Amino acid sequence: MMTDSQSPFTTLCRAMVQELMAGYDRGHQSTKKQGVKDGHPHTGDKTVPGLIAKHGYPVETHTVTTSDGYMLDIHRIPHGSSGPGKRPRIPVLIQHGLLCSSADWLVSGPGKALGFILADEGYDVWLGNVRGNRYGRRHRTLSPQDDAFWSFRYRNAGVGSVSYRSL
């Protein structure tokens, strides 16, 4: 029987991470802001921050406002569950597809889900969201009950939302 750490998906993810690390410029330093670990207030809930904290990983939530006023929550796992380590962490943005959220990169749990695998391999993981999903239902002037709130094309999610200039 194949264990989770030997699954083809896990093996592929680890190989991708190792390949990225091999070409990384060791002189680069990423931000070393500490996240919250055990005792996180979201530990018992079913949100993305709650899921991350439940598994003992540090978690941060950042809000990005798009140029057209949508306020999107971006979730961050600054490092793996074993701590930040000594080498610099490369930031990685993982963006979900149509009708999904940042949760899709985590629901399989540590050792299986790409978000956790990357964090454990030393990456600074940022999990994006788009307008209209659970983490993108706020706007500076509109409400999700307003028709105008939903008056966007999915192309806006890639062109307008993913520029993340404020990160």
At residue 20, the 3 state secondary structure works out as: helix
Query: How far apart (Å, rounded) are the C-alpha atoms in residues 137 and 61?
Result: 15
Spatial neighbors of 101 by CB under 8 A, at least 6 apart, are: 48, 129, 133, 134, 135
pTM, rounded to two decimals: 0.68
Angle at 165 between CA 60 and CA 163, to 5 degrees: 100
CB 73 within 8 A of CB 136: yes
Q: How high is the pLDDT of residue 20?
A: 39
Average pLDDT per consecutive 10 residues, the chain (167 residues; last block may be shorter) = 51 44 35 37 71 94 88 93 86 88 93 96 93 91 92 66 46
